[in-house]
Amino acid sequence: MLKVVLADDENKVILLMQKLIDWNALGYEVVGVANDGPHALELVQTQQPQLLITDIRMPGCDGIELIRRAKELQPQLHFIVISGYRQFEYAQSALKYGVEDYLLKPLKQEELSSILLRIKDKLGEEAAVEFQLKQNSERQQERFIDTLKNAADHDQPFINAAQADTEFGLHFADGCYFAALVKPDISNAAQHLNGYQLMMQHTLEIVRQGVQTLADEYAAALLKEGVAILLYMREYQPVEVKQCFTKIRKEIEKQRDLFWDIRSTVCIGSRKDRLEQAGVSMREALWLCRDRLCHVQPWRDAEIEEPVCSGHYLMDAAQKKRFQDAAEYLDANRFAQELESSYRYISRRQPLTGQMLEDWFRQVLEASLYGMQQNGSVADRFARTMIEDFWRCTNAQDIFLLLRQNIRQEILRLEGEKALRETRPITEAKRYIQQHYQEALRLEDVSSAVGFNATYFSALFKKETGQNFMDYLTELRVNKSKELLCRDDLSVQDVAELVGYRDLKYFSRLFKKITGVSPSDYKKLYR
């Protein structure tokens, strides 16, 4: 519904307008009425209507002045003016202030309805255009922030102000540039992923609303690391900046209705006088954001505490190899032991920074991935999801649990796939033996039928069944012969041939060795 305010110094005119039109049917809602200019302005400010219908002459503030001041309060507001014939020329002068249309007294239902429908159509088009422009602007900001993040990650110079204007429609000049990262944290975010993503989207909107009154120009976008912002101010105002981001942080933490333990951190990069240096500021903001994993503070400022961006952790080759081996052999318990040991070691490092924790996390992940890939396909999405989940962690313990749970789960998945791969050919081999046991069957025949080298197949068959091939075949033939010996119409010789033995003496000797009785005695027992 479109909101409308009615303003006229005569109550009977307001009542007439209210009764003359079925406002709801036309898609409007009358949210307030006023008999003077100041009250009408107050309604514009509090109700934020899309349309104001006002008499050209109003006590306390005439119609022209009311329109001018209401436009200052709400630039997108539309107006219809009401005038008597004698004020027609006066009413026409209001058109230069953007008045949509005018009505002459006495008011006619058809005229007012027609104007309201036309304005509704126009407001719909304007809303669609405004939404499209907003989306285009936000996409440009996302592209700009991605470019800035790339410059920060690779320690490269950023674009200049002219390029920012041409490529992204952002207008910068001489002044102060700095990057910021706003990072909300909640416990067990991965278990509440939909809620977490919704919270991050709300955070982006809170940041945009907060910084637009602070900065002369800005770009903001949602990254996996948090909400990243590049701000430009003609003159840096430290108190205003701190107040603005403190308000943003408090607004975020008001969402505790959904996330009872929400905590937010604001990380500010150092101030630069050229846009080309903004990548350095963003790199510092990112470093400070990582460091919240070790040092919990709501406000981190690179001008106050210099980030040690060169401080990294390098895992020794022997430890990497142990992670690779545990993953390659699909030994989940061994991996868990190695991780526990490695975590105890990294936790005792002094000083320990968030950057070092990320280095440790990535090296454990990379070594384990390499090992697991020797046993099967690990989806590219697995590594990307792990890195996204890293940024949802709130401390070092969360990172340890993330690695332990997810890599162990992937190892078990690969172990199951491997078992299935090894079991499938044995199942096929058993089926083949069942179909051909009456023939002169050899190991080479069966291994060839399932597509394996005979030596490898023999070892695999023994591993999966606990018997070598010949023992399995003999047991199958003897069991089949037991069934056949119970039939009156078959002799022992017939049974021997039916289960694949042409030599009766050999069959009899083998049968007695396995069952303890000769085929003839067995037949007598079960006749």
Which residue, chain included where needed, has tokens 């109003």?
A: 58
Q: Reduced to 3 states, what is the DSSP secondary structure of residue 491?
A: coil
How much is the average pLDDT of 399-428?
88
The whole-number average pLDDT for the span 428-432 is 87
pLDDT level of residue 301 (50, 70, 90 thresholds): very high
Q: What is the per-residue pLDDT for 257?
A: 61
Residue 321: pLDDT over 90: yes
Give the E-state strand segments of 240-399 in sequence order. Answer: 263-268, 299-301
Measured CA to CA, the distance from residue 479 to residue 521 in angstroms comes to: 16
Q: Report, as an integer, the average pLDDT of 429-436.
A: 88
Q: Residue 356 to residues 149, 293, 307, 321, 454: CA-CA distances in angstroms? A: 20, 10, 13, 20, 51
Residue 92: the pLDDT is 55
Q: Which two tokens stand for residue 422?
A: 């090894």
pLDDT of 216 > 90? The answer is yes
Overall size of the chain counted in residues: 527
Whether 162 and 220 have beta carbons less than 8 Å apart is answered as no
pLDDT at 259: 61
Distances 14 to 17, 35, 183, 396, 515 between C-alpha atoms, Å: 5, 9, 51, 66, 109
Paired with 300 in beta bridges are: 267
b (16+ CB within 10 A) / e for 139-165? ebbbebbebbbebbeeeeebbebeebe
66-75, 185-194, 426-435: which range is least confident on average? 185-194
Task: State the pLDDT at residue 56.
Answer: 77
Task: For 254-298, write each residue's pLDDT tens digit.
Answer: 877 666 678 999 999 999 999 999 999 999 999 999 999 999 999
One-letter amino acid at 152 equals A
Kindly indicate the confidence band of residue 232, based on its pLDDT and cuts at 50, 70 and 90.
Answer: very high
* pLDDT at residue number 363: 97
pLDDT digits (tens, 9 = 90+) for 144-172: 999 999 999 999 999 999 999 999 999 99
Judge whether 53 and 99 are in contact, CB under 8 Å: no
CA distance 167 to 146: 13
Quote the pLDDT of residue 378. Answer: 82
Among 21-30, 207-216, 225-234, 363-372, the minimum mean pLDDT is found in 21-30
CA separation for the pair 301, 288 (Å, rounded): 8
- Is 80 exceeded by the pLDDT of residue 10? yes
pLDDT tens digits for range 384-398:
999 999 999 999 999
pLDDT at 89 over 60: no
Average pLDDT, the chain: 88
pLDDT at 97: 61
* Rounded-to-integer distance, Cα 472 and Cα 459, Å: 13
**DSSP summary character for residue 135:** H
At 133, is the pLDDT very low, low, confident or very high (cuts 50, 70, 90)? low
- pLDDT of 114 reads 82
Residue pLDDT, tens place only, 165-207: 999 999 999 999 999 999 999 887 767 777 788 788 889 989 9
Q: Taking residues 485-502, what's their average pLDDT?
A: 88
Instruction: Provide mean pLDDT across the span 50-54.
Output: 90
Reduced DSSP (H G I as helix, E B as strand, rest coil) percent helix, strand, coil of the chain, to 5: 60, 10, 25
Contact 217, 232 (CB under 8 A): yes
How far is the C-alpha of 77 from the C-alpha of 89, rounded, in Å? Answer: 23
Cα gap 107→357, rounded to integer Å:
73
Decide if pLDDT at 106 tops 90. Answer: no
- The DSSP bridge partners found for residue 129 are none
Average pLDDT on 454-479 reads: 87
Q: What is the DSSP letter of 270?
A: P
Q: What number of CA atoms fall less than 13 Å from residue 516's CA on the CB side?
A: 1
488 vs 337: which has the higher pLDDT: 337
The mean pLDDT of 85-104, rounded to a whole number, is: 61
